[in-house]
């Protein structure tokens, strides 16, 4: 015989209210792979239609959940739920208990999972009559809804409230007649009747990450005391001289005025094991190099993996030993000993949670002579008098080192060259007309200087009815490879309408971002080690004038060396 819970008698003459004095749900579920029993206090309010006023009772309750400890992302699985066996007396304070009907029990459909269906497990209920139990998906109003957030165990959705077929003064739905029998069919010497609601199996498909938590319905109105939306409600019927009805509403709390307790939390939690992520490996480094001069080659893994190794190769021939990956990057210092084009590839081995990948070849042109360069002014092609703009140039091949001098309007501006070969200098034109900008690259070790052709910039007055703006970019500073960072640009005045285009050197960072209350933000990550310039360009809507921020320096440090350290540090250069 399954373990049963008796409903104690009340000394005070509360009539039919004694029915729920010992509402305890225990046992009743066949042991399966990994059942989890959760015990908590349930507080119910019984509101008889005659004999006495409302009665509040708090008793221990429990439920048993059978669910896997963990599932793979995207895996289909089942959670089995069953409330414990419940008993009620044959009489209370002189009134005969005829039956209990309109029983309903609601649970929340778990988050982090796709709901695929639910079913009643046959032959798992005891002592039920009336309408056969069924499980349906409902909305907050208790109506059947294919997109509702709750599941309801009931008899044709006949309830005391929160449903389309509700009544607190007539039988309906799931009914349990008073028989004085135990669940095994034997006669109970105290006249109690015991019944068992059926087990419900819920079929789910796991999401990508997190946990899948099964909970009783306790959100929104269901979390209030004595509410028709409470997870458990039912309707006792008793007779003394007249028929009395006692609609009952139960919620997981220690007292009528207390907060929700642990019964409103997860009854069981299924951990989702994330699927291994596909990765992309790319190589950053110089496009050209000089023989016998060391260069740094960096492999970047996206998304940023930790663990595993990268093997660099030159035309398929390994370059040194595999290098450990730290925060999505692995670097090696290499000296080319022959001229010509070298096709460099990087093979990521993969690591826990990440699938290995191979980069596309990166061609490095190696020469014994200093490498020739070219330089071009790439922006801006138009500007307004008095509005901030950025003069920008690009060195080819991209090489860090040296400076660029911008010559415009009789002035000379100097900017450092970043790792991406970009040099940026802020400038403000003070008169209209076509202005020509020339950029001169100083050159650096192994790379020759160069001069750009004259670049025309058309400068006009902003429309007088438009509002001038200024744009500033918060300092960026040092950001480790693969670490999340949020770029923040502020546009003045704060009511300016438009978008901000963030840039890394001369390359756009994503799509333009809306300005909200004078602020535009862009969460991003940077993978390639080096030093760069980050800018923000405000692209104004009608009524406002474009503007650009001064460049902010971004430094992405080189990843630390592998476990053997640097051989150069041991034996010299």
Q: What is the DSSP string of 434-501?
A: EEEEEEEE--BTTB--EEPPPEEEEEEPPPTTSBP-EEEE---EE--TT-EEEEEEEEESTT--EEEE
453 and 473 in a single domain? The answer is no
* Strands 433-441, 403-408: pairing kind: antiparallel
CA distances to 178, 193, 364, 538, 554 from 475, in Å: 76, 73, 33, 17, 8
* Number of domains, the chain: 4
415 and 339 in a single domain? The answer is no
Query: What is the 3-state secondary structure of 103-172?
Result: EEEEEECCCCEEEEEEEECCCCCECCEECCCEEEEECCCCCECCCCCEEEEECCCEECCCCCEECCCCCC
429 and 479 in a single domain? The answer is no
230 and 197 in a single domain? The answer is yes
| Domain hosting residue 395, numbered range | 370-461
33 and 57 in a single domain? The answer is yes
List beta partners, residue 496.
none
* 329 within a domain of the structure (yes/no): yes
Preceding omega of 303 cis (within 30 degrees of 0)? yes
pLDDT at residue 90, rounded to an integer = 85
Burial 120-149 (b: 16+ CB within 10 A, else e): beeebbbbbebbebbbbbbebebeeeeebb
Tokens 């969460």 correspond to 523
* 317 within a domain of the structure (yes/no): yes
357 and 380 in a single domain? The answer is no
pLDDT at residue 52, rounded to an integer = 67
Q: In angstroms, rounded to a whole number, what is the distance separating the alpha carbons of residues 473 and 505? A: 14
160 and 66 in a single domain? The answer is yes
Tally Cβ neighbours within 10 Å of residue 208. Answer: 10
314 and 330 in a single domain? The answer is yes
350 and 471 in a single domain? The answer is no
Q: What is the pTM of this model?
A: 0.58
pLDDT at residue 381, rounded to an integer = 87
CA distances to 52, 57, 210, 288, 428 from 457, in Å: 90, 82, 53, 31, 12
- Domain end (from 334, 367, 400): 367
* 224 within a domain of the structure (yes/no): yes
Which H or E run contains 5?
A: none
pLDDT at residue 398, rounded to an integer = 82
306 and 451 in a single domain? The answer is no
354 and 425 in a single domain? The answer is no
pLDDT at residue 64, rounded to an integer = 86
Tally Cβ neighbours within 10 Å of residue 315. Answer: 10
CA proximity to 302, closest of 362, 344, 357, 360: 357
Q: In angstroms, rounded to a whole number, what is the distance separating the alpha carbons of residues 283 and 297? A: 7
pLDDT at residue 559, rounded to an integer = 67
If DSSP codes are grouped into helix, strand and coil, which group holds residue 20? Answer: helix
pLDDT tens for the chain, 573 residues long, are 233 333 222 222 233 333 443 333 333 332 334 578 888 999 999 988 866 678 898 888 888 899 999 999 999 999 999 998 888 888 876 778 899 999 999 999 999 999 999 999 999 999 999 999 999 999 999 999 999 999 999 999 999 999 999 999 999 999 999 999 998 899 999 889 989 999 999 999 999 899 999 999 999 999 999 999 999 999 999 887 888 899 999 999 999 999 999 999 999 899 999 888 899 999 988 888 889 888 889 999 999 888 999 999 999 999 999 999 988 889 999 999 999 999 999 999 999 889 999 999 999 999 998 888 999 999 898 999 999 999 999 998 887 789 999 999 889 999 999 989 999 999 999 999 999 999 999 999 888 999 999 999 999 999 999 999 999 999 999 998 888 999 999 999 999 999 999 999 999 999 999 999 999 999 998 888 889 999 999 999 999 999 999 999 999 987 665 443 332 322 222
Q: In angstroms, rounded to a whole number, what is the distance separating the alpha carbons of residues 84 and 73? A: 31
* 566 within a domain of the structure (yes/no): no
Per-residue pLDDT of 462-481, as tens digits, reads: 999 999 999 999 999 999 88
Token pair for 234:
């039912």
pLDDT at residue 5, rounded to an integer = 33
If DSSP codes are grouped into helix, strand and coil, which group holds residue 348? Answer: strand
350 and 323 in a single domain? The answer is yes
Q: Which CATH number belongs to the domain containing residue 388 in this structure?
A: 2.60.40.10
Q: Are 99 and 171 in contact (CB under 8 A)?
A: yes
* 269 within a domain of the structure (yes/no): no
pLDDT at residue 27, rounded to an integer = 31
pLDDT at residue 401, rounded to an integer = 86
pLDDT at residue 171, rounded to an integer = 96
């Amino acid at each position: 015989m399954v373990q049963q819970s008796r409903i104690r008698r009340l000394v005070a003459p509360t009539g039919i209210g004694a029915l729920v004095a010992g509402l305890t749900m225990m046992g009743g579920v066949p042991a399966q792979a990994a059942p989890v029993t959760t015990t908590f206090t349930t507080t119910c309010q019984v509101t008889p239609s005659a004999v006495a006023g409302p009665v509040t009772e708090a008793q221990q309750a429990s439920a048993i959940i059978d669910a896997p400890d963990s599932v793979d992302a995207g895996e289909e699985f089942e959670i089995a739920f069953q409330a414990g066996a419940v008993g009620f007396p044959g009489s209370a304070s002189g009134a005969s208990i005829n039956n209990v009907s309109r029983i309903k029990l609601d649970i929340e459909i778990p988050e982090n999972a796709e709901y695929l269906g639910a079913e009643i497990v046959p032959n798992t209920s005891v002592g039920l009559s009336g309408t056969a139990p069924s499980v349906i998906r409902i909305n907050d109003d208790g109506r059947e809804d294919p997109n509702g957030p709750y599941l309801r165990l009931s008899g044709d959705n006949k309830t005391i409230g929160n449903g389309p077929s509700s009544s607190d003064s007539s039988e309906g739905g799931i009914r349990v007649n008073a028989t004085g029998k135990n669940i095994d069919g034997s006669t109970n010497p105290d006249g109690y009747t015991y019944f068992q609601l059926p087990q419900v199996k819920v079929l789910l498909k796991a999401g990508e990450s997190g946990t899948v938590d099964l909970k009783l319905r306790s959100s929104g109105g269901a979390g209030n005391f004595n509410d028709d939306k409470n997870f458990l409600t039912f309707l006792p019927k008793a007779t003394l001289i007249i028929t009395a009805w006692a609609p009952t509403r139960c919620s997981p709390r220690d007292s009528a005025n207390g907060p929700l307790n642990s019964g409103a939390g997860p009854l069981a939690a299924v951990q989702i094991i994330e699927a291994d992520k596909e990765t992309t490996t790319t190589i950053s480094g110089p496009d050209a190099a000089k023989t016998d001069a060391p260069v740094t080659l960096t492999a970047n893994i996206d998304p940023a993996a930790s663990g595993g190794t990268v093997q660099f190769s030159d035309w398929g021939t390994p370059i040194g030993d595999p290098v450990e990956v730290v925060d999505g990057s692995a670097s090696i210092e290499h000296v080319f000993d022959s001229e010509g084009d070298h096709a460099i590839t990087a093979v990521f081995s993969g690591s826990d949670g990440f699938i290995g990948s191979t980069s596309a070849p990166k061609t490095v042109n190696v020469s014994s002579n200093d490498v020739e360069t070219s330089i071009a002014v790439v922006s801006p092609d138009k500007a307004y008098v008095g509005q901030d703009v950025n003069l920008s140039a690009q060195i080819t091949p991209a090489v860090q080192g040296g400076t660029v001098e911008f010559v415009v309007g009789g002035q000379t501006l100097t900017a450092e060259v970043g790792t991406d070969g970009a040099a940026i200098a802020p400038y403000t034109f003070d008169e209209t007309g076509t202005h020509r900008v020339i950029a001169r690259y100083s050159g650096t070790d192994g790379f020759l200087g160069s001069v750009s052709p004259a670049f025309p910039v058309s400068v006009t007055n902003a429309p007088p009815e438009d509002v001038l703006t200024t744009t500033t970019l918060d300092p960026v500073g040092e950001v480790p490879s693969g670490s999340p960072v949020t770029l923040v640009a502020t546009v003045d005045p704060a009511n300016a309408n438009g978008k901000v285009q963030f840039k890394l050197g001369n390359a756009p960072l994503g799509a333009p971002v809306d300005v909200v209350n004078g602020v535009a933000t862009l969460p991003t990550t940077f993978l390639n080690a080096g030093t760069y310039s980050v800018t923000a360009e405000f692209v104004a809507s009608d009524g406002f004038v474009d503007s650009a921020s001064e460049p902010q320096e971004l430094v992405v440090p080189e990843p630390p060396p592998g476990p053997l350290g640097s051989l150069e540090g041991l034996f010299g250069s």
